[in-house]
Amino acid sequence: MSSIQRTQRATEILCDAFVTDPVVEWVFPGPIEQRRASVARVFAPLVEISAAADELAVLDDGAAAVWLPVEAGQDMAPGPEEELPPRLRTLVEVLARGHSTERDHLYLAFIGVAQGKQGRGLGGRLLAERLRRADVPVYLEASSARNVPLYERHGFRLTDEPITLPSGPTVWPMWKEN
């Protein structure tokens, strides 16, 4: 699979996995196909950044993970010049406030399994494969309470109180020491 096909496949998988996610539904309310197109525009550049850092993980059978290296002191908030839909800007700003960048670490921005393939261990497999090679701590935000135990089984711990978006869903910030 070429690098372009790989990034396209990762974006497709993530769109399918997250199109009904509570956070995605909050950021992009409206018809599901419109939401799918909107979320693709969010995922694609992050997939590209992850691929360029040689951190993109894709399983052909329907799972993808976007890992991003974060350097100590790196600002995670979008600049005012970046045009983002209002709720997406709110999400990114709220998450950035809770994302400690005191130390170098990996950020698991997204891990998803295509609908119809979930519950088969694909996400756990991707997670375990990358965590085995991690030489720095790892941070993520779980967008579903049902995923918190999965991450805990892989050594993650809640870092603080869950973050509730304004009139929206909750996310759970988690950290794993290496």
As a whole number, mean pLDDT of residues 129-154 equals 95
**Average pLDDT value over all residues in the chain:** 93
As a whole number, mean pLDDT of residues 113-131 equals 92
Nearest to 126, CA basis, from 101, 144, 150 = 150
Q: Tens of pLDDT along 85-96?
A: 899 999 999 999
As a whole number, mean pLDDT of residues 145-169 equals 93
CA atoms within 13 A on the CB side of 46: 23
pLDDT at 139: 97
- pLDDT range class, residue 161, cuts 50, 70, 90: confident
Domains and CATH numbers, the chain: 3-176 (3.40.630.30)
Dist. CA 18–CA 172, nearest whole Å? 16
pLDDT at 92: 92
Dist. CA 132–CA 148, nearest whole Å? 19
pLDDT at 79: 77
pLDDT at 160: 80
**Does position 1 have pLDDT exceeding 80, yes or no?**
no
pLDDT at 98: 87
Q: Tens of pLDDT along 63-81?
A: 999 999 999 999 888 777 7
**Does position 7 have pLDDT exceeding 90, yes or no?**
yes
Nearest to 174, CA basis, from 129, 142, 147, 135 = 142
Q: What share of the chain is helix, strand, coil (3-state, %, to 5)?
A: 45, 20, 35
